[in-house]
Chains A and B, each alone.
Chain A
Amino acid sequence: MLSLFLIVIAAFFFTGIVVRTKSLASGRKGPGIMQPIKDVIRLFKKGAVYSKTSSIIFQIAPTIYFSSVVMAMLVVPFGQSKGLISFNCDFIFFAYVLALGKFFSIISALDTGSSFEGMGASREALYSMFAEPALFILMGSFALLTGYTSFQEIFAALHIGSYLSYALATLATFVLVMIAMIENSRMPIDDPKTHLELTMIHEVMILDNSGFDLGLLLSAGYLKFAIYGALIVNLFVGMVDYQYAIPLFFIIQFLMAVVVGLIESFMARFRMNHNAQFIVALTSVSLLIFFGAILILGKFN
């Protein structure tokens, strides 16, 4: 229950901090931290415009996408407190409920019949497909290591382990940050700022969405980032008391936003065909975690 509130609060600030970091890094003052939220509120007051060539899919997809993210948010725990929903193997539920939302966003992009959105949809599908094994090998290794299969139990047990488990947690942080970048279409995979239809991935898929629908898609994006941040926090807080854990949550979210902003300021986007290599490389880092887990368990003779 606690995680739900924390994630929502973090989502309010996260994108604002990223934008502000980028502005400061390029010597500009930049908009206020709350600007992305103000934009969403403005969009929520508007009606949506639908093209004549699009069908019901296009109209329901933003809502499904948003609700899939909210559902995924419900299973994320925070330290000792379980998520609103918690059951065995809930991390699989987490991954696939997000995938459901993504599936709808892809078919809604195809539904518009625009060649740009078709390209964006194909890229999104490809990169999510490559990112999927990384997440599952990561969570699978932790399940193997701890012997539990739900998020809260895995994270609680992980903390009690040896120093080696902290090393694994560091590797896992890297993987989760990168998956967060891929899932949220940030640099260096995708560039949300250039607004060139031919080079974008996620942004190009929502070109035809407007008003309320666009507001839903944007706020789902903010939430998604905060959810991945919360997962990373969980790797470290474990059974720590709330008075330390809650500030730690916000510090880690803040650091992650700053890191994202700095990466976006000081490097160029990858060439599109290097993206696939980069994402597959994440899977190999996950495999490293897997071997680490086996090592700890003493499965090697």
Chain B
Amino acid sequence: MNYIQIENNTTIGIAEIPEVSYPVFFDEISKLMTGQTERHCANYFGYRLNGKIKLICCLADDLTHQIYVLSCVVNNDDNLRSLSKELLCFEKFEREIHENFGIGFVGHPWLKPVRYPFNRADKSKTIANYPFYSIDSEELHEVGVGPIHAGVIEPGHFRFICNGEQILHLEIQLGFQHRGVEQLFLDKKSLLQRTTLAENITGDTVVGHTTAFSMVWESLCGFKPSKDIQFARTLALEMERIAIHTGDLSAMCTDVAYQLGSSVLGRLRTPMINFMQEWGGNRLSKGLIRPGRNQFPFTPALAERLAQIFTEYEPDFEEIVEQIRRLPSTLSRFERTGIVSYDDILSIGAVGMAARMSGLTRDIRSTHPFYLYSEMKHEPAIKHHGDVYSRFQIRRNEIRQSIKYIKEMLDNVPDATSEVNNLENSSPNAFSIALVEGWRGEICHCAITDEKGELLIYKIKDPSFHNWLALALAVRNNEISDFPICNKSFNLSYAGHDL
């Protein structure tokens, strides 16, 4: 076997991952991936090892619930055959490896910089000289938006090539938000510092990333979280999903200038995040999750409070989504806008909500279940049209689903344990991987330790990394005035991509 099969949330010795030559590595990945719709690349990265580069590829299989891991060692001046030529989902990963180490990928269609890390191989490539795809035509015109967002949220540059009002091509240039998070994980030695870093990978997926980090670190230290810790994290993940989806539905209404939907849904988001404050002291759930301990035990009093909040939330929520569903003017903006086909979604390897809106069942909660999801028998919400309205419906259905799960969970709240594990002995020469379904999709954290058990590399993949390309495909042939609604319906993270 050229690869090892592991389950989600496990730690193995780094030596257990088979190391093969690049041609074998290439063939094995092609064989595993070609024509297999149930498999996708969860993470593919490299790190420096004794003057060479070690590449590690993790492929997730939705049917067998396994993760296939394989590795190979190459030199940084090698020119390797590109996987992206046949398997487009490796495109971004190969670009990242090329940018970090200078490894060439022969036949890669689009070998452009990703996020301009400080220690990149080619320092002459700067954010100012990004090679944009350009056109030479009298009829077409270019529209550049950003990097400063009109709403001053996060920076990113969007370059449209338009024929009048119609978008022919969109190129998204990111990297403005790069903070060197992965390097900071290695530099900061204390567990608290690292947890805080994980919380700040992207501000809207605090629970998702902190859970992924906790899973990785706890499994490196051989700590099995008790029932109440698992309960708290699962509940927090679902609460985050409800809060963000509600806020995004509100923002989608804002972008089509439907004031009623915007203000009602905006108001409904508030009790959700306020509950997080009641529970853990922060509306964005910062500080709620700490590896090795149950920082804020979920008490029966909180359970009663949450049940009451849902009783108030549900009627208003159902009324407004029904209103939006019936209103011709909102439907005419949502339907058949920003369509991404199933084939495109599959070939770019989209994950999470963006995959499910086109009929691709990709949901870590059901395919690689962790914590309480193993008992939940989660059925992913699926839509097939791939338009803005599908994304609207997915969010609506997932909110309903999450409320249902939480209500079931509230029936038996486990007793809190006061046990605290400081997680000081991480296993040496180990590889650990954790997949978590955040509200946006699959979050993947990988860690590799050296012989002393210290972190050698910490690798983070936010779902936005895959899904930005889906946005670029969605807006093709749409009107440029529909770009904001397409963008908001995905609501991807700049910080999560740029790290």
> Chain A: residues with CB nearer than 8 A to chain B?
22, 25-28, 115-116, 118-119, 122, 187-188, 191, 193-199, 264-274
B480 contacts A268, C-beta separation under 8 Å: no
Tell me the bound Cα distance from A115 to B144 in angstroms.
8
Q: With CB as the reference atom, state the residue of chain B lying closest to A195.
A: B150
* Residue B38, interface by CB 8 Å: no
* Residue B422, interface by CB 8 Å: no
Given contacts A26-B260, A119-B480, contact A269 B142 (CB under 8 A): no
The one of B142, B263, B480 in contact with A26, judged by C-beta atoms closer than 8 angstroms, is B263
* Residue B254, interface by CB 8 Å: yes
A198 contacts B258, C-beta separation under 8 Å: no
B145 contacts A198, C-beta separation under 8 Å: yes
B260 contacts A273, C-beta separation under 8 Å: no
Of B182-190, B408-416, B481-489, the segment with at least 4 beta carbons within 8 Å of chain A is B481-489
A27 contacts B329, C-beta separation under 8 Å: no
* Complex interface residues of chain B between 102 and 147 (CB less than 8 A to chain A): 141-145
Chain B residues lying within 8 Å of A25, measured Cβ to Cβ, are 259-260
* Residue B257, interface by CB 8 Å: yes
Tell me the bound Cα distance from A196 to B337 in angstroms.
17
* Residue B177, interface by CB 8 Å: no
B150 contacts A197, C-beta separation under 8 Å: yes
Tell me the bound Cα distance from A273 to B145 in angstroms.
22
Q: Shortest CB–CB separation between residue A276 and chain B, in angstroms?
A: 10
Q: Shortest CB–CB separation between residue A269 and chain B, in angstroms?
A: 4
A27 contacts B267, C-beta separation under 8 Å: yes
Chain A residues lying within 8 Å of B267, measured Cβ to Cβ, are 27
The one of A27, A187, A193, A199 in contact with B481, judged by C-beta atoms closer than 8 angstroms, is A199
27 sample A-B contacts, Cβ–Cβ < 8 Å, listed by A number: A26-B259, A26-B262, A27-B267, A116-B143, A188-B257, A191-B257, A194-B257, A194-B484, A195-B150, A195-B151, A197-B150, A198-B143, A198-B145, A198-B480, A198-B483, A198-B484, A199-B484, A265-B260, A266-B260, A267-B330, A268-B253, A268-B258, A268-B327, A268-B330, A268-B333, A269-B257, A272-B481
B257 contacts A272, C-beta separation under 8 Å: no
Q: Shortest CB–CB separation between residue A178 and chain B, in angstroms?
A: 15
Tell me the bound Cα distance from A265 to B260 in angstroms.
6
Chain B residues lying within 8 Å of A270, measured Cβ to Cβ, are 329, 332
Q: Shortest CB–CB separation between residue A23 and chain B, in angstroms?
A: 10
* Residue B255, interface by CB 8 Å: yes
Q: Shortest CB–CB separation between residue B384 and chain A, in angstroms?
A: 22
Given contacts A27-B263, A271-B479, contact A196 B258 (CB under 8 A): no
Q: Shortest CB–CB separation between residue A197 and chain B, in angstroms?
A: 6
Interface string of B239-270 (1 = CB under 8 A from A): 00000000000000111111110111001000
* Residue B86, interface by CB 8 Å: no
Q: Shortest CB–CB separation between residue B151 and chain A, in angstroms?
A: 7
The one of A119, A196, A266 in contact with B255, judged by C-beta atoms closer than 8 angstroms, is A196
A194 contacts B259, C-beta separation under 8 Å: no
Interface string of B288-330 (1 = CB under 8 A from A): 0000000000000000000000000000000000000001011
Q: Shortest CB–CB separation between residue B89 and chain A, in angstroms?
A: 29
* Residue B379, interface by CB 8 Å: no
Chain B residues lying within 8 Å of A267, measured Cβ to Cβ, are 258, 327, 329-330
Enumerate the 5 nearest inter-chain pairs by beta-carbon distance, A residue then B residue, closest first: A191-B257, A26-B263, A269-B257, A268-B258, A268-B329
Chain B residues lying within 8 Å of A193, measured Cβ to Cβ, are 257, 259
Known: A22-B259, A194-B254, A270-B332. 19 other contacts (CB 8 A): A26-B262, A115-B143, A122-B164, A188-B257, A195-B151, A196-B255, A196-B484, A198-B143, A198-B480, A264-B257, A265-B260, A266-B259, A267-B327, A267-B329, A268-B257, A268-B258, A270-B329, A273-B165, A273-B479
* Complex interface residues of chain B between 201 and 237 (CB less than 8 A to chain A): none
Chain B residue total in the interface (Cβ 8 A): 33
Chain A residues lying within 8 Å of B330, measured Cβ to Cβ, are 267-268
Chain A residues lying within 8 Å of B327, measured Cβ to Cβ, are 267-268
The one of A26, A27, A196, A274 in contact with B332, judged by C-beta atoms closer than 8 angstroms, is A274
> Chain B: residues with CB nearer than 8 A to chain A?
141-145, 150-151, 164-165, 253-260, 262-264, 267, 327, 329-330, 332-333, 337, 479-484
Chain B residues lying within 8 Å of A191, measured Cβ to Cβ, are 257
Tell me the bound Cα distance from A199 to B255 in angstroms.
9
A196 contacts B150, C-beta separation under 8 Å: yes
Q: From A193, A269, A274, name the one whose CB has the most chain B CB atoms within 10 angstroms.
A: A269
Q: From A194, A264, A274, name the one whose CB has the most chain B CB atoms within 10 angstroms.
A: A194
Tell me the bound Cα distance from A199 to B486 in angstroms.
12
Tell me the bound Cα distance from A216 to B48 in angstroms.
62
Q: With CB as the reference atom, state the residue of chain A lying closest to B334.
A: A268
A269 contacts B479, C-beta separation under 8 Å: no
A188 contacts B329, C-beta separation under 8 Å: yes
Q: With CB as the reference atom, state the residue of chain B lying closest to A275.
A: B481
Q: Shortest CB–CB separation between residue B310 and chain A, in angstroms?
A: 21
Tell me the bound Cα distance from A198 to B166 in angstroms.
12
Chain A residues lying within 8 Å of B259, measured Cβ to Cβ, are 22, 25-26, 193, 264-266
Q: With CB as the reference atom, state the residue of chain A lying closest to B259.
A: A265
A115 contacts B255, C-beta separation under 8 Å: no
Tell me the bound Cα distance from A266 to B328 in angstroms.
11
Tell me the bound Cα distance from A277 to B26 in angstroms.
54
Q: Shortest CB–CB separation between residue B336 and chain A, in angstroms?
A: 10
Q: Shortest CB–CB separation between residue B481 and chain A, in angstroms?
A: 4
Chain A residues lying within 8 Å of B332, measured Cβ to Cβ, are 268, 270-271, 274
Chain B residues lying within 8 Å of A265, measured Cβ to Cβ, are 259-260
Q: Shortest CB–CB separation between residue B72 and chain A, in angstroms?
A: 45
Chain B residues lying within 8 Å of A197, measured Cβ to Cβ, are 145, 150
Chain A residues lying within 8 Å of B480, measured Cβ to Cβ, are 119, 198
Tell me the bound Cα distance from A28 to B255 in angstroms.
19
A119 contacts B479, C-beta separation under 8 Å: no
Q: Shortest CB–CB separation between residue B270 and chain A, in angstroms?
A: 13
B263 contacts A271, C-beta separation under 8 Å: no
Q: With CB as the reference atom, state the residue of chain B lying closest to A191.
A: B257
Chain A residues lying within 8 Å of B141, measured Cβ to Cβ, are 115, 118
Chain B residues lying within 8 Å of A26, measured Cβ to Cβ, are 259-260, 262-264
A194 contacts B255, C-beta separation under 8 Å: yes
Chain A residues lying within 8 Å of B263, measured Cβ to Cβ, are 26-28
B144 contacts A268, C-beta separation under 8 Å: no
Q: Shortest CB–CB separation between residue A181 and chain B, in angstroms?
A: 13
Q: Shortest CB–CB separation between residue B334 and chain A, in angstroms?
A: 9
Q: Shortest CB–CB separation between residue A31 and chain B, in angstroms?
A: 15
Given contacts A26-B263, A27-B263, A115-B143, contact A271 B482 (CB under 8 A): yes
Q: With CB as the reference atom, state the residue of chain B lying closest to A118.
A: B141
Chain B residues lying within 8 Å of A196, measured Cβ to Cβ, are 150, 255, 484
